[in-house]
Amino acid sequence: MTIVLKNKVTLVFDEFTFRCCIGKKGTTKRKIEGDKKTPVGTFSLGNLYYRRDRHIKPLTKLNCIPIKKNMGWCDDIKNKKYYNKLIKTNKKVRHEKLFRKDKKYDFFIPIKYNTENPKIPKGSAIFIHLTNNFKPTSGCIALKRKDFLILVKLINKKTKIKLI
């Protein structure tokens, strides 16, 4: 089964429809780091990451990984080795902080966009994550917590996401 982004504000899976938000500047077939656009295509999904200090492990068939304070996702276009990968944070590598004060990454699933042999600067850290106000993202897909938790109960490791 495939999750489908129907339009800028609707995500559909099976008979379920979820309100969502996407990149501030819409979608693109030519994603560039920092362009605030959501990449177009059909992609696999990664593991589910969650804040164990705030939430119990969600009910899902996905592998669940607790987020630690030193976890980040490299978005450094000068770092070929770690670009668009999960890293232990350090001051030398630019990264998206995963252990955050806001609740945006309390739960998130990396979309496997530009992850196999990542190309700089084709974009990094494209996630399905949380929102509480549906403000546009920097390129991710964001859902309300309640809808995210429903979605993760329905999907599995073979589920894909189609962004159009």
Per-residue pLDDT of 120-137, as tens digits, reads 999 999 999 999 999 999
CB-based contacts of 20: which residues, under 8 Å, 6+ apart? 5, 9, 10, 11, 131, 134, 141, 142, 143, 147
Q: What is the pLDDT of residue 91?
A: 84
Per-residue pLDDT of 54-95, as tens digits, reads 999 999 999 999 999 999 999 999 999 999 999 999 888 999
Degrees to nearest 5, angle at CA 108 with 55 and 54: 15
Residue whose pair of structure tokens reads 């599995």 in the numeric block: 156
- Name the residue ranges covered by the structural domains of the chain: 2-163
Q: What is the pTM of this model?
A: 0.97
List phi, psi (to 5°) of 113: -105, 125
The closest alpha carbon to 43, from 164, 143, 141, 163, belongs to 163
CATH of domain 2-163: 2.40.440.10
Strands of the 95-97 sheet, one edge to the other: 86-88, 71-74, 95-97
Query: Which letter does DSSP use for residue 96 in this model?
Result: E
Q: How far apart are CA 73 and CA 58, in angstroms?
A: 22
